[in-house]
Structure 1
Amino acid sequence: MEQSSCTPVIAAGGKSSRMGRDKAFIPLAGKSFINRILARLAEVFTLPPVIITNSPAAYVNLKVQTEPDLLPGRGPLSGIQAGFYYSVSPYIFVVGCDMPFLQPAFIRFMLTQIQGYDAVVPETGGKLHPLHAVYSRRCAAAIEAGLAHHQPKAIALLSQLKVHYLRPEATAMHLLAEQSLTNVNTPADLAYAEAMVKHTGCL
């Protein structure tokens, strides 16, 4: 798949309740999460990113397209729905705003795996990562149906789709994948991320 066929979508509509502050703007190694994510996505995609957020004023200085959830408070599935609604490309790559260690090489590898599938979703240690995933526009109808039936969980949707569950530990990408899939939801997670930067040089 050509990178020009895929729109990067940053899901930033959550409440950050476990962190206690907006995760997108937490500083790490001198850059906020959102700036780190935007920089990494720019290394992969030619189409401009879309940030799905219900606080657009917070992002005005970034000069990036921001759009609201169509159904606020309905969880990650609503963010994916909005990603399709506000883009015209046949594919979207959706990532959470709490993933500051994105690895462009791993994302590019994921894009090569979509052929013949509706979605490519990493799976590590039995955990699925629907907010670090590639989705074909063929998923849009199933997402709409799930939301109409008040099913906000993205993982429940996957059972209705032809999904490539990508297990990076079985590939040469496993170390990059481990970094890319690191999400920071709590103060303890943030302390771990800061330690990663300090002790491993992970940027």
Structure 2
Amino acid sequence: MITVEMKEWTGIILAGGLSSRMGSNKALLPLDGSIVLEHVAEAIAPAVSRIIVAAGPNVDAYQALGYTCVEDGYPGKGPLAGLHAALEASETEWNLVCACDMPLVQPSLFTTLQRLAASDKTHPAMVPRLEGRVHPLVGMYHMDVLPSLEQCLKEDRLRVTRWLEEIGCRYVEAEDLERAGIQDAAAQLSNMNTMQDYQDLVNKRPSSM
């Protein structure tokens, strides 16, 4: 049985993409006097004891931020490779994960996921699913997923959603989040791939957030 200890969690930020559609590194885009990656880190920090940045080829760009940065052990194999590298560097059983391009995410989303994990000790991963769309790059992953994750990378089976099915992931529906007090999950899970996406999210972000 998987156990959930609320004292020790690691936060993982996936920031190893090439941002080819954006035209520049999306994690480093300015936002409210800081950068996008820092806003994601601020949201996840209250729930974890340590933050690891899965930096891929961008290690040098993030070193000055003060977080542990790891390179992919399987370069060029997408977010699964970043998750694998960060989980290998983690020293806790449970890990909260978020992509670097979700600047509207709030601490309440991560603490809510932690509470759900405390009541569900049978699933090695837990991610949101809103209106049928799975959001695999924000959620929780137990260290037990590492062997199957590495096997997928070795075999070039890189579809994240298929891997989630294989490991028996639990999907947290919009209704689950609403009952826990998260009324704006869709907005929090908005991500950005283009400069227009970035501008739209900046405009949505209240100055008080």
Scaled by the length of structure 1, what TM-score is found? 0.91
Counterpart contact for 2:128–2:172, Cα < 8 Å: yes
Shift of 1:86: 0.6
Question: In structure 1, how many angstroms separate the alpha carbons of the residues matched to 2:100 and 2:190?
Answer: 11
Question: In structure 1, how many angstroms separate the alpha carbons of the residues matched to 2:149 and 2:27?
Answer: 25
- The 5 A counterparts of 1:121-140 are 121-140=127-146
Question: In structure 2, how many angstroms separate the alpha carbons of the residues matched to 1:26 and 1:137?
Answer: 31
Q: In the alignment, what sits opposite 1:16?
A: 19
- Aligned-partner residue type, residue 180 of structure 1: Q
Query: What does the per-residue CA deviation read over 1:33-63, in whole Å, with 9 as the maximum and x for residues that have no partner?
Result: 0111121222221x21001112211112211
Q: In the alignment, what sits opposite 1:156?
A: 162
**Secondary structure of the residue that 1:159 maps to in structure 2?**
helix
Of residues 186, 191, 199, the one that matches 2:199 is 191
Question: In structure 2, how many angstroms separate the alpha carbons of the residues matched to 1:25 and 1:131?
Answer: 18
Unaligned runs of 5+ in 2: none
- The 5 A counterparts of 1:104-119 are 104-114=107-117, 115-119=121-125
Scaled by the length of structure 2, what TM-score is found? 0.89
Of residues 17, 27, 31, the one that matches 1:28 is 31
Unaligned runs of 5+ in 1: none
Asked whether 1:167 is paired with 2:173, we answer yes
Counterpart contact for 1:106–1:176, Cα < 8 Å: no
Question: In structure 2, how many angstroms separate the alpha carbons of the residues matched to 1:123 and 1:72?
Answer: 28
Following TM superposition, where does structure 1 have runs of at least 4 consecutive aligned residues deviating by more than 3 angstroms?
Answer: 1-4
Counterpart contact for 1:51–1:67, Cα < 8 Å: yes
Counterpart contact for 2:13–2:100, Cα < 8 Å: yes
Asked whether 1:5 is paired with 2:33, we answer no
How many residues are aligned here?
Answer: 200
**Cα RMSD, aligned residues only:** 1.6
